[in-house]
Amino acid sequence: MTTKKGNDTKEKIFNAAIKVFAKKGFSAATSAEIAEEAGVAQGTIFRYYKTKKDILRGVMIEYIDKFDEFAEFDSIQNIIEDNKYKPLDEILKLIVLNRYEVFKKNFHISKVIHYEMQFHDDIMDMHLKKCKEKEGTVMKHILQHIDIDEDKYKPLDKNSLAIIFTSMMFGMFFQRLNGIRGNNSVPIEKEIDIIIDVFFNGILKR
């Protein structure tokens, strides 16, 4: 029977592994570093996880659960309903800001999975089966439930539009939170404005 103390210890190991994997990568991370981060003896790790790879699989399962939160349609629908009389670009900005806050809470786990699935076929398979379709579905759901003026916008395939905007959105999220560009001098609201403007209008002067 698992005790509360045992569950707490397992969670500490799990969270420590995410931090170490995010910093060093799965291959370079050692069980000793995970144990030090968790504040437990190295041998304690293997009372809860048979191998380091078992921890990574656990991270993937947790990521799938977190992705369900990101792709949760009810909150998106509420934003659309509460702001249905606003312009399309304003509604989209509110949705992206909302998704950014969810993504920020779960950034380290997302970083680990998106990096490691390049090297682990089982992790890649889990991602493709459980998450990849939802990435596009979120945007398709948004496009289908916001009134789009057909006289104003080109009749483009919604699947393609979903892929394009999702790539822009996630790319911006990852770059901001991963510190790729150093200090983020541009406020998140301004950057979202730029992405939405480019998505709808391109970069040509009108």
DSSP state of 206: -
Confidence at residue 133, expressed as pLDDT on a 0 to 100 scale: 63
Q: Does domain 52-201 have CATH number 1.10.8?
A: no
In this predicted structure, the answer to whether residue 113 has a pLDDT above a threshold of 50 is: yes
This prediction's pTM: 0.72
The confidence score (pLDDT) of residue 1 equals: 44
Specify whether the CB–CB gap between 41 and 108 falls below 8 A: no
Helices (H), 86-187: 88-105, 107-116, 121-127, 133-145, 158-178
Question: Cα dist. 4→7, 49, 182, 200 in Å?
Answer: 5, 17, 41, 52
Q: Which two tokens stand for residue 99?
A: 């998704």
In this prediction, residue 131 has a pLDDT band, given cuts at 50, 70 and 90, of low
Q: Classify 74 as helix, strand or coil.
A: helix
Q: Assign 61 a pLDDT band (cuts: 50, 70, 90).
A: confident
Phi, psi of 203 (to 5 degrees): -115, 0
Other beta carbons within 10 Å of 87? 9
Report how far apart, in Å, the C-alpha atoms of 53 and of each of 17, 80, 83 are.
11, 41, 45
Q: What is the pLDDT confidence band of residue 77, given thresholds at 50, 70 and 90?
A: confident
Task: Give the tokens for residue 55.
Answer: 């921890």
Residues of the chain with CATH 1.10.357: 52-201
User: Average pLDDT over the chain, rounded to whole?
Assistant: 80
Q: Fill in the DSSP letter of residue 26.
A: T
Lowest mean pLDDT among 71-85, 144-158, 169-183: 144-158
The CATH 1.10.10.60 domain(s) of the chain lie at: 1-50
Calpha distance 2→13 (Å, rounded)? 15
**With pLDDT > 90 as the criterion, what percentage of the chain qualifies?**
10
CA distance 132 to 142: 17
Choice between 111 and 140, residue whose per-residue pLDDT is larger: 111
Which CATH fold topology does 1-50 show?
Arc Repressor Mutant, subunit A (1.10.10)
Which of the two residues, 134 and 126, has the higher pLDDT score?
A: 126
